[in-house]
Amino acid sequence: MEKFIFNPKEGIDNPVMVITDDADSVMKPSPRLCVLKREEGESYGFHLQVEQGRQGHIIRNVELGGVAGRSGLQNGDRLLEVNNCYVVNVPNCEVTRKITQSGHQLCLLVLNEEEYERAVSQGQDLRDLAKANKGEDCKPPRLCHITRNPASGLGISFTPVEGQKGHFSVNLVTGGAAEKAGVRKGDRLVWMDGAAVSELTHSALSRMMKKCGNHITILVIDSESEKKYIQLKIPILPSMAVSHNLPYRARKLQLVSGPQGYGFLLRLERTPSGRTFHVLRGMDRDSPAERAGMRDGELLLEVNGESVESLKHEEIVVRVRQSGQQLSITTITTQGLEFYTRLGLSPLLFCEDDAAEKEKESSVPASVAEQSSQKETETPISDTSSKVTTAICVFCMIY
């Protein structure tokens, strides 16, 4: 009888008994996808922060039973992606901005604390790790705005995908309005004018098309990528989209203060409906504001990357003062804000970036005169004298 010699490299015909010298294969990091969906007025229920001596964007204070907790997010998790966008090397406040702009649904790719620290210590490429999680063939959706052609109409129609409720394939008129707006043959429709189509019947979708008038904004994705998103259980969101042909965009302006300040007025104006907006007015001729491209009547959305939506007029003035000799603002027209509001999207999702990198520290304008007239508050942004240094953002909270 032939003597059996056991070779530990080969093992025996029993998977449990196989010995491997590749210890790292057992320890391969496994990113987790957490999909958070909140109701109007509900918080996501976690904090995002940077901690001294620790690497990465760290998830903290996950509320028990909250939106984040139910999604599988855990204390100590490290953030790799927000809505399919790699954020490991992005400043913490910019990551916070991406999350707050996402609306009621958010897609986070995370690693647990132990796996993240091990991957970093071993020099693993976290970007490659995130890519491998969804594969190379996963393309982003496209947000396309279509304007009706007087002769050929919108140039688009939709066919139900057989056996898949709420899935519609795109049919195009060659050279028509939809094709020119970035829609491609065989695309799948995800969303129309702010409404997801996943629960719609074909007749309901047809009724929406008849009511759309001369314009329609749709979210589409190629069929292969749609399959991949479904397979990975990734929601297809407007916040992930590449935009095509949008009629309005927020603008980022960079201002450098002159001897008389920035040369514009900031007014708090109330509309007949009762809504109040921070409005840019009275640009001085050849002032820093005029040279930066500021336009009278535009609405202020951000100061130095911080949304002003929840800020009082006086708080915005403080932010401008603390900015010092350089100021970064984001603006949009009234019509632009109405457009994004109708779609249920943040106007900050799709910006024209007309400027160089914003500066985070400097000195501030003083001398703020305020007056109330006809339910308006007006503040001249001028006179840079007192010096204040802004704090570096090391702790950002998401609620």
Per-residue pLDDT tens over the stretch 220-277? 999 999 999 999 999 999 999 999 999 999 999 999 998 888 999 999 998 777 889 9
CB 299 within 8 A of CB 277: yes
At 9 the pLDDT is 54
CATH class as words, domain 25-134 = mainly beta
130-168 pLDDT, tens digit each = 988 877 778 999 999 999 999 999 999 999 998 888 899
- Predicted confidence at residue 361, as pLDDT, reads 29
CATH number of 250-390: 2.30.42.10
Tell me what pLDDT residue 4 has. 54
* DSSP classification of residue 367: -
The domains spanning 142-244 and 250-390 adopt the same CATH topology: yes
Look at residue 106 in the predicted model and tell me its pLDDT: 95
CA distance 382 to 321: 9
pLDDT the model gives residue 363 = 28
Question: Looking at this protein, which amino acid is placed at residue 377?
Answer: T
Q: What is the pLDDT of residue 328?
A: 94
What is the CATH code of the structural domain delimited by 142-244?
2.30.42.10
Angle of the 223-232 helix axis to the 126-134 helix axis, nearest 10? 100
Domain ranges in the chain? 25-134, 142-244, 250-390
* β-bridge mates for residue 160, sequence order: 168
Q: Nearest Cα to 326, choosing from 280, 354, 381, 364?
A: 364
Write the secondary structure of 53-77 as one string of H (helix), E (strand) and C (coil).
CCCCCEEECCCCCCHHHHHCCCCCC
3-state secondary structure of 211: helix
| H or E element, residue 92 | helix 92-100
Q: What is the pLDDT of residue 396?
A: 36
| Helices and strands, counts by H and E, the chain | 11, 23
For the chain, which ranges sit under pLDDT 50?
15-21, 23-26, 354-377, 382-399
Token pair recorded at residue 360? 């985070």
